[in-house]
Homo-oligomer: A and B are copies of this chain.
Amino acid sequence: MSTFGQFLRVTTYGESHCPSVGCIVDNFPPGIPVSEEILQPQISRRRPGQSSITTPRNEADIVSIQSGVEGGVTLGTPIAMVVKNQDFRPGDYKGSTMKQYPRPSHADFTYLEKYGVRASSGGGRSSARETIGRVAAGALCEHYLKLAHGIEIVAWVSSVGSIHHISPTAEYPCTSHNPKFLQLLSGVTREDVDKTVVRCPDPEVAAQMEKSIADFRDRQDSIGGTVTCVIRNVPTGLGEPVFSKMEAALAQGMLSIPATKGFEIGSGFAGTEIPGSAHNDMFIRNPAPVSEPKNGFAKPKLSTLTNNSGGIQGGITNGAPIYFRVAFKPPATIGLPQQTVTFAGESDGLLEAKGRHDPCVVPRAVPIVESMAAICIMDALMTQGGRRAAALTL
Protein backbone atom coordinates (compact mmCIF):
# COMPACT_ATOMS: atom_id res chain seq x y z
CA MET A 1 0.00 0.00 0.00
CA SER A 2 0.96 3.62 -0.31
CA THR A 3 0.91 4.49 3.38
CA PHE A 4 3.79 3.95 5.78
CA GLY A 5 3.76 4.29 9.54
CA GLN A 6 1.42 3.56 12.43
CA PHE A 7 1.23 6.90 14.20
CA LEU A 8 2.93 9.27 11.81
CA ARG A 9 1.40 8.24 8.51
CA VAL A 10 3.02 9.07 5.17
CA THR A 11 0.96 8.44 2.02
CA THR A 12 2.66 9.02 -1.33
CA TYR A 13 1.27 9.32 -4.85
CA GLY A 14 2.54 9.71 -8.36
CA GLU A 15 4.48 8.03 -11.11
CA SER A 16 6.77 9.31 -13.88
CA HIS A 17 4.26 10.60 -16.38
CA CYS A 18 1.64 12.48 -14.44
CA PRO A 19 1.17 16.12 -13.43
CA SER A 20 2.80 15.84 -10.01
CA VAL A 21 4.18 13.55 -7.34
CA GLY A 22 3.91 14.10 -3.61
CA CYS A 23 2.60 12.97 -0.29
CA ILE A 24 0.36 13.62 2.68
CA VAL A 25 1.93 13.43 6.13
CA ASP A 26 -0.74 12.81 8.74
CA ASN A 27 -0.30 13.30 12.49
CA PHE A 28 2.79 15.49 12.30
CA PRO A 29 3.02 17.40 15.61
CA PRO A 30 1.58 20.90 15.81
CA GLY A 31 3.55 24.04 16.57
CA ILE A 32 6.73 23.07 14.72
CA PRO A 33 8.38 25.78 12.60
CA VAL A 34 8.48 24.44 9.05
CA SER A 35 9.06 25.91 5.62
CA GLU A 36 9.77 24.72 2.12
CA GLU A 37 13.35 25.97 2.48
CA ILE A 38 13.93 23.33 5.14
CA LEU A 39 12.69 20.57 2.86
CA GLN A 40 14.23 21.59 -0.43
CA PRO A 41 17.87 20.55 0.23
CA GLN A 42 17.06 16.84 0.52
CA ILE A 43 14.75 17.04 -2.51
CA SER A 44 17.63 18.58 -4.42
CA ARG A 45 20.12 15.99 -3.19
CA ARG A 46 18.05 13.15 -4.69
CA ARG A 47 17.55 14.98 -8.00
CA PRO A 48 19.10 13.52 -11.12
CA GLY A 49 21.60 15.52 -13.15
CA GLN A 50 23.88 16.42 -10.27
CA SER A 51 27.06 15.06 -11.87
CA SER A 52 28.43 13.24 -14.86
CA ILE A 53 27.97 9.90 -13.12
CA THR A 54 24.23 10.34 -12.62
CA THR A 55 21.50 10.56 -15.21
CA PRO A 56 21.72 13.87 -17.11
CA ARG A 57 18.02 14.57 -16.75
CA ASN A 58 17.81 17.89 -15.02
CA GLU A 59 14.64 17.76 -13.03
CA ALA A 60 14.09 21.03 -11.24
CA ASP A 61 12.13 19.50 -8.41
CA ILE A 62 10.58 22.22 -6.30
CA VAL A 63 8.54 21.18 -3.30
CA SER A 64 5.39 23.11 -2.46
CA ILE A 65 3.50 22.75 0.84
CA GLN A 66 -0.26 22.65 0.25
CA SER A 67 -1.71 22.40 3.74
CA GLY A 68 -1.07 21.95 7.43
CA VAL A 69 1.31 24.88 7.81
CA GLU A 70 0.26 28.45 8.52
CA GLY A 71 2.45 31.38 9.42
CA GLY A 72 5.47 29.11 9.16
CA VAL A 73 4.21 26.78 11.87
CA THR A 74 2.57 23.35 11.64
CA LEU A 75 -1.10 23.15 12.61
CA GLY A 76 -1.16 19.46 13.52
CA THR A 77 -3.32 18.81 10.46
CA PRO A 78 -2.18 16.80 7.41
CA ILE A 79 0.74 18.31 5.56
CA ALA A 80 0.37 17.78 1.82
CA MET A 81 3.43 18.35 -0.33
CA VAL A 82 3.56 18.48 -4.11
CA VAL A 83 6.40 18.43 -6.64
CA LYS A 84 5.47 19.04 -10.27
CA ASN A 85 6.65 16.66 -12.95
CA GLN A 86 8.13 19.26 -15.29
CA ASP A 87 10.70 17.48 -17.32
CA PHE A 88 9.57 14.00 -18.20
CA ARG A 89 10.15 14.31 -21.97
CA PRO A 90 8.60 10.96 -22.93
CA GLY A 91 10.15 11.39 -26.42
CA ASP A 92 13.51 10.45 -25.01
CA TYR A 93 12.35 6.91 -24.54
CA LYS A 94 10.48 6.70 -27.84
CA GLY A 95 13.32 5.48 -30.03
CA SER A 96 13.81 2.48 -27.83
CA THR A 97 12.10 -0.83 -28.32
CA MET A 98 10.65 -0.75 -24.82
CA LYS A 99 7.01 -0.61 -25.86
CA GLN A 100 6.82 -4.04 -27.38
CA TYR A 101 9.23 -5.76 -25.04
CA PRO A 102 9.37 -5.84 -21.27
CA ARG A 103 12.69 -4.50 -20.05
CA PRO A 104 14.65 -7.22 -18.25
CA SER A 105 14.70 -6.94 -14.44
CA HIS A 106 12.51 -3.88 -14.66
CA ALA A 107 8.90 -3.74 -13.48
CA ASP A 108 7.21 -3.54 -16.91
CA PHE A 109 6.16 -7.17 -16.89
CA THR A 110 5.11 -7.46 -13.27
CA TYR A 111 3.10 -4.20 -13.35
CA LEU A 112 1.19 -5.51 -16.33
CA GLU A 113 0.62 -8.85 -14.59
CA LYS A 114 -0.58 -7.10 -11.47
CA TYR A 115 -2.74 -4.35 -12.88
CA GLY A 116 -3.58 -5.57 -16.37
CA VAL A 117 -2.91 -2.04 -17.62
CA ARG A 118 0.24 -0.57 -19.09
CA ALA A 119 1.34 2.88 -18.10
CA SER A 120 3.52 4.59 -20.71
CA SER A 121 6.39 4.51 -18.26
CA GLY A 122 6.13 0.75 -17.96
CA GLY A 123 6.99 0.38 -14.35
CA GLY A 124 4.47 2.82 -12.88
CA ARG A 125 5.17 3.41 -9.23
CA SER A 126 8.46 1.50 -9.33
CA SER A 127 9.90 4.66 -10.89
CA ALA A 128 12.50 6.48 -8.85
CA ARG A 129 10.31 9.57 -9.08
CA GLU A 130 7.93 8.00 -6.62
CA THR A 131 10.59 8.48 -3.96
CA ILE A 132 10.23 12.27 -4.11
CA GLY A 133 7.19 12.11 -1.85
CA ARG A 134 9.11 10.11 0.71
CA VAL A 135 12.08 12.47 0.61
CA ALA A 136 9.76 15.42 1.23
CA ALA A 137 8.16 13.58 4.16
CA GLY A 138 11.53 12.37 5.41
CA ALA A 139 13.02 15.86 5.31
CA LEU A 140 10.11 17.05 7.43
CA CYS A 141 10.67 14.27 9.94
CA GLU A 142 14.39 14.71 10.15
CA HIS A 143 13.89 18.41 10.76
CA TYR A 144 11.66 17.54 13.70
CA LEU A 145 13.97 14.88 15.08
CA LYS A 146 16.89 17.30 15.05
CA LEU A 147 14.90 20.04 16.75
CA ALA A 148 13.29 17.85 19.37
CA HIS A 149 16.05 15.43 20.24
CA GLY A 150 19.20 16.45 18.41
CA ILE A 151 18.92 13.31 16.33
CA GLU A 152 21.36 13.17 13.41
CA ILE A 153 20.89 10.93 10.40
CA VAL A 154 23.76 10.51 7.97
CA ALA A 155 24.00 8.01 5.13
CA TRP A 156 26.87 7.46 2.74
CA VAL A 157 28.00 5.19 -0.04
CA SER A 158 29.89 2.31 1.55
CA SER A 159 30.57 0.33 -1.61
CA VAL A 160 30.31 0.49 -5.38
CA GLY A 161 30.64 -2.90 -7.00
CA SER A 162 33.57 -4.58 -5.31
CA ILE A 163 35.12 -1.33 -4.09
CA HIS A 164 34.36 -1.18 -0.39
CA HIS A 165 35.04 1.76 1.83
CA ILE A 166 35.79 -0.53 4.77
CA SER A 167 36.28 -4.24 4.12
CA PRO A 168 36.40 -7.05 6.66
CA THR A 169 39.97 -7.65 7.81
CA ALA A 170 41.70 -10.51 9.60
CA GLU A 171 41.72 -8.41 12.75
CA TYR A 172 38.16 -7.19 12.32
CA PRO A 173 36.22 -9.82 10.41
CA CYS A 174 33.11 -8.10 11.65
CA THR A 175 33.23 -4.45 10.61
CA SER A 176 31.17 -3.50 13.65
CA HIS A 177 34.38 -3.95 15.69
CA ASN A 178 36.59 -1.93 13.35
CA PRO A 179 37.74 1.36 14.98
CA LYS A 180 37.79 3.10 11.60
CA PHE A 181 34.13 2.22 11.15
CA LEU A 182 33.26 3.18 14.71
CA GLN A 183 34.85 6.58 14.16
CA LEU A 184 32.64 7.10 11.12
CA LEU A 185 29.59 6.14 13.14
CA SER A 186 30.31 8.72 15.76
CA GLY A 187 31.55 11.53 13.57
CA VAL A 188 30.65 11.49 9.89
CA THR A 189 28.61 14.49 8.74
CA ARG A 190 26.48 15.19 5.71
CA GLU A 191 29.10 17.71 4.64
CA ASP A 192 31.76 14.99 4.69
CA VAL A 193 29.52 12.86 2.54
CA ASP A 194 28.74 15.55 0.00
CA LYS A 195 32.40 16.45 -0.58
CA THR A 196 32.48 13.94 -3.43
CA VAL A 197 29.85 13.36 -6.09
CA VAL A 198 29.83 9.68 -5.27
CA ARG A 199 28.98 10.45 -1.63
CA CYS A 200 31.62 8.30 0.02
CA PRO A 201 33.28 10.24 2.86
CA ASP A 202 36.77 8.91 2.03
CA PRO A 203 37.98 11.00 -0.94
CA GLU A 204 40.46 8.37 -2.14
CA VAL A 205 37.94 5.56 -2.14
CA ALA A 206 35.39 7.95 -3.62
CA ALA A 207 37.69 8.64 -6.54
CA GLN A 208 37.99 4.91 -7.26
CA MET A 209 34.24 4.52 -7.02
CA GLU A 210 33.66 7.45 -9.34
CA LYS A 211 36.06 6.04 -11.89
CA SER A 212 34.40 2.65 -11.67
CA ILE A 213 30.95 4.12 -12.21
CA ALA A 214 32.22 6.13 -15.17
CA ASP A 215 33.68 2.95 -16.67
CA PHE A 216 30.39 1.13 -16.36
CA ARG A 217 28.62 4.14 -17.84
CA ASP A 218 31.01 4.21 -20.79
CA ARG A 219 30.47 0.51 -21.39
CA GLN A 220 26.69 1.20 -21.37
CA ASP A 221 26.50 -1.11 -18.38
CA SER A 222 25.64 -0.50 -14.74
CA ILE A 223 26.83 -1.45 -11.27
CA GLY A 224 25.35 -1.79 -7.78
CA GLY A 225 26.55 -0.75 -4.37
CA THR A 226 25.65 -0.29 -0.75
CA VAL A 227 24.61 2.63 1.42
CA THR A 228 25.35 2.69 5.13
CA CYS A 229 23.34 4.91 7.45
CA VAL A 230 23.86 5.97 11.06
CA ILE A 231 21.28 7.54 13.36
CA ARG A 232 22.71 9.23 16.45
CA ASN A 233 21.16 10.48 19.68
CA VAL A 234 18.18 8.18 19.42
CA PRO A 235 16.23 8.04 22.68
CA THR A 236 15.92 4.62 24.30
CA GLY A 237 12.67 2.72 24.14
CA LEU A 238 11.76 3.18 20.47
CA GLY A 239 10.43 0.27 18.39
CA GLU A 240 7.23 -1.66 18.85
CA PRO A 241 7.37 -5.37 19.59
CA VAL A 242 6.83 -7.57 17.85
CA PHE A 243 6.07 -6.78 14.21
CA SER A 244 7.21 -3.17 14.31
CA LYS A 245 10.49 -3.81 16.05
CA MET A 246 12.78 -0.92 15.20
CA GLU A 247 14.85 -3.09 12.83
CA ALA A 248 11.71 -4.59 11.25
CA ALA A 249 10.32 -1.15 10.49
CA LEU A 250 13.66 -0.04 9.08
CA ALA A 251 13.94 -3.21 7.00
CA GLN A 252 10.50 -2.65 5.53
CA GLY A 253 11.29 1.00 4.87
CA MET A 254 14.59 0.23 3.17
CA LEU A 255 13.36 -2.70 1.10
CA SER A 256 10.53 -0.47 -0.13
CA ILE A 257 13.08 1.74 -1.87
CA PRO A 258 13.42 0.81 -5.57
CA ALA A 259 16.37 -1.44 -6.52
CA THR A 260 17.17 -2.62 -2.98
CA LYS A 261 18.18 -6.25 -2.44
CA GLY A 262 19.30 -6.44 1.17
CA PHE A 263 19.37 -4.91 4.63
CA GLU A 264 21.54 -5.60 7.61
CA ILE A 265 21.51 -3.99 11.04
CA GLY A 266 24.49 -3.73 13.39
CA SER A 267 26.90 -6.59 12.88
CA GLY A 268 24.60 -7.97 10.19
CA PHE A 269 25.56 -11.00 8.13
CA ALA A 270 29.17 -10.86 9.35
CA GLY A 271 27.88 -11.02 12.91
CA THR A 272 26.57 -14.52 12.30
CA GLU A 273 30.13 -15.78 12.06
CA ILE A 274 31.53 -14.68 15.41
CA PRO A 275 30.79 -16.30 18.79
CA GLY A 276 28.29 -14.86 21.22
CA SER A 277 31.06 -14.06 23.66
CA ALA A 278 32.56 -11.69 21.11
CA HIS A 279 29.25 -10.44 19.79
CA ASN A 280 27.56 -9.54 23.06
CA ASP A 281 27.62 -5.86 23.97
CA MET A 282 28.67 -5.49 27.61
CA PHE A 283 26.77 -2.97 29.69
CA ILE A 284 28.66 -0.16 31.37
CA ARG A 285 27.65 2.98 33.23
CA ASN A 286 26.78 5.64 30.68
CA PRO A 287 29.93 7.76 30.60
CA ALA A 288 27.97 10.77 29.31
CA PRO A 289 26.56 12.84 32.15
CA VAL A 290 22.92 11.94 32.57
CA SER A 291 21.14 15.15 31.69
CA GLU A 292 17.61 16.30 32.34
CA PRO A 293 14.99 14.63 30.18
CA LYS A 294 14.61 16.47 26.88
CA ASN A 295 11.10 16.62 25.53
CA GLY A 296 10.16 13.72 27.71
CA PHE A 297 13.04 11.39 26.98
CA ALA A 298 15.84 10.98 29.52
CA LYS A 299 19.34 9.74 28.75
CA PRO A 300 19.80 6.14 29.91
CA LYS A 301 21.93 5.20 32.90
CA LEU A 302 23.66 2.41 31.03
CA SER A 303 25.40 2.21 27.72
CA THR A 304 27.38 -0.56 26.06
CA LEU A 305 31.09 -1.05 25.50
CA THR A 306 30.60 -2.29 21.95
CA ASN A 307 27.69 -1.85 19.54
CA ASN A 308 27.27 -5.02 17.53
CA SER A 309 23.56 -4.70 18.19
CA GLY A 310 23.37 -1.60 16.05
CA GLY A 311 21.60 0.36 18.76
CA ILE A 312 18.66 -2.04 18.98
CA GLN A 313 18.07 -4.92 21.40
CA GLY A 314 14.89 -6.95 21.42
CA GLY A 315 13.55 -4.64 18.75
CA ILE A 316 13.90 -1.57 21.00
CA THR A 317 16.50 1.18 20.85
CA ASN A 318 19.13 1.21 23.62
CA GLY A 319 20.47 4.71 23.05
CA ALA A 320 23.56 3.67 21.08
CA PRO A 321 23.79 4.76 17.43
CA ILE A 322 21.57 2.79 15.08
CA TYR A 323 23.39 1.81 11.93
CA PHE A 324 22.50 -0.38 9.00
CA ARG A 325 23.53 -1.13 5.46
CA VAL A 326 21.34 -1.38 2.36
CA ALA A 327 22.18 -3.24 -0.86
CA PHE A 328 21.26 -1.69 -4.23
CA LYS A 329 21.39 -3.80 -7.35
CA PRO A 330 22.92 -2.56 -10.61
CA PRO A 331 20.25 -0.52 -12.45
CA ALA A 332 18.26 -2.69 -14.83
CA THR A 333 18.13 -0.15 -17.62
CA ILE A 334 21.37 -0.35 -19.60
CA GLY A 335 22.38 0.72 -23.08
CA LEU A 336 23.74 -2.70 -24.05
CA PRO A 337 21.41 -4.68 -26.30
CA GLN A 338 19.57 -7.46 -24.51
CA GLN A 339 17.69 -10.51 -25.78
CA THR A 340 14.03 -10.52 -24.87
CA VAL A 341 10.57 -11.56 -26.06
CA THR A 342 7.41 -9.53 -26.55
CA PHE A 343 4.87 -9.18 -23.76
CA ALA A 344 2.71 -11.70 -25.57
CA GLY A 345 5.59 -14.14 -25.70
CA GLU A 346 5.34 -14.15 -29.46
CA SER A 347 8.63 -13.10 -30.98
CA ASP A 348 12.18 -12.62 -29.83
CA GLY A 349 13.88 -9.28 -30.05
CA LEU A 350 16.75 -7.12 -28.99
CA LEU A 351 16.07 -4.41 -26.46
CA GLU A 352 18.25 -1.29 -26.53
CA ALA A 353 17.47 1.39 -23.99
CA LYS A 354 18.11 4.82 -25.47
CA GLY A 355 17.13 7.17 -22.66
CA ARG A 356 19.10 8.83 -19.89
CA HIS A 357 19.94 6.40 -17.15
CA ASP A 358 21.90 6.18 -13.96
CA PRO A 359 24.82 3.76 -14.26
CA CYS A 360 24.76 3.44 -10.45
CA VAL A 361 22.02 4.56 -8.09
CA VAL A 362 23.79 4.66 -4.75
CA PRO A 363 24.91 8.32 -4.79
CA ARG A 364 21.32 9.47 -5.29
CA ALA A 365 19.97 6.81 -2.93
CA VAL A 366 21.73 8.44 0.03
CA PRO A 367 19.01 11.03 0.79
CA ILE A 368 16.28 8.46 0.16
CA VAL A 369 17.76 6.11 2.75
CA GLU A 370 18.05 9.01 5.21
CA SER A 371 14.44 9.98 4.55
CA MET A 372 12.99 6.54 5.13
CA ALA A 373 15.10 6.26 8.28
CA ALA A 374 13.71 9.56 9.56
CA ILE A 375 10.13 8.48 8.93
CA CYS A 376 10.70 5.17 10.75
CA ILE A 377 12.29 6.80 13.78
CA MET A 378 9.70 9.52 14.06
CA ASP A 379 6.83 7.06 13.82
CA ALA A 380 8.37 4.96 16.61
CA LEU A 381 9.06 8.07 18.67
CA MET A 382 5.48 9.30 18.54
CA THR A 383 4.10 5.87 19.39
CA GLN A 384 6.42 5.56 22.36
CA GLY A 385 5.50 9.11 23.38
CA GLY A 386 1.85 8.08 23.44
CA ARG A 387 2.63 5.06 25.61
CA ARG A 388 4.74 7.06 28.05
CA ALA A 389 2.10 9.75 28.29
CA ALA A 390 -0.39 7.04 29.25
CA ALA A 391 1.89 5.31 31.78
CA LEU A 392 0.52 7.46 34.51
CA THR A 393 1.74 8.53 37.87
CA LEU A 394 -0.99 7.14 40.05
Do A116 and B391 contact each other (CB < 8 Å), given the known contacts A226-B272, A341-B284? Answer: yes
CB-based contact A236/B110 at 8 Å: yes
User: Within the complex, what minimum Cβ distance (angstroms) separates A339 from chain B?
Assistant: 5
Would you call A162 an interface residue if the criterion is a C-beta within 8 Å of the partner chain's C-beta atoms?
A: yes
Residues of B within 8 A of A170 (CB): none
Q: A1-42 vs B: 1/0 string, CB under 8 Å?
A: 111101101011111011111101011011111000000000
Residues of B within 8 A of A318 (CB): 109-110, 113
CB-based contact A280/B105 at 8 Å: yes
CB-based contact A113/B263 at 8 Å: no
Which of A53-61, A65-73, A180-188, A197-205 lies on the face that meets chain B? Answer: A65-73
Residues of B within 8 A of A120 (CB): 70-71
CB-based contact A224/B273 at 8 Å: yes
Residues of B within 8 A of A386 (CB): 7, 382-383, 385-387, 389
In this complex, what residue of B is CB-closest to A7?
B386
Tell me the complex Cα distance, A36–B267, Å: 39
Interface residues in A238-268 by Cβ distance below 8 A to B read 238-245, 247-256, 258, 260-268
How many A residues face the partner with a CB closer than 8 A?
170
Q: A272-302 vs B: 1/0 string, CB under 8 Å?
A: 1111110111111110000000011000111
CB-based contact A302/B261 at 8 Å: no
Do A276 and B80 contact each other (CB < 8 Å), given the known contacts A262-B262, A271-B329? Answer: no
Do A11 and B29 contact each other (CB < 8 Å), given the known contacts A386-B389, A387-B382? Answer: no
Would you call A221 an interface residue if the criterion is a C-beta within 8 Å of the partner chain's C-beta atoms?
A: yes
Tell me the complex Cα distance, A124–B33, Å: 17
Do A18 and B68 contact each other (CB < 8 Å), given the known contacts A126-B314, A283-B104? Answer: yes
- With A7-B386, A76-B116, A252-B255 given, can you name 8 additional A-B contacts, CB distance below 8 Å? A2-B24, A2-B241, A19-B64, A224-B279, A248-B253, A261-B267, A382-B387, A385-B390
CB-based contact A282/B104 at 8 Å: yes
CB-based contact B13/A328 at 8 Å: no
Would you call A336 an interface residue if the criterion is a C-beta within 8 Å of the partner chain's C-beta atoms?
A: yes
Residues of B within 8 A of A328 (CB): 272
Residues of B within 8 A of A243 (CB): 1-4, 252-253, 256
Tell me the complex Cα distance, A279–B221, Å: 10
Tell me the complex Cα distance, A256–B314, Å: 9
CB-based contact A2/B78 at 8 Å: yes
Do A67 and B221 contact each other (CB < 8 Å), given the known contacts A116-B30, A249-B252, A280-B105? Answer: no
Interface residues in A102-135 by Cβ distance below 8 A to B read 102, 104-107, 109-111, 113-117, 119-120, 123-126, 130
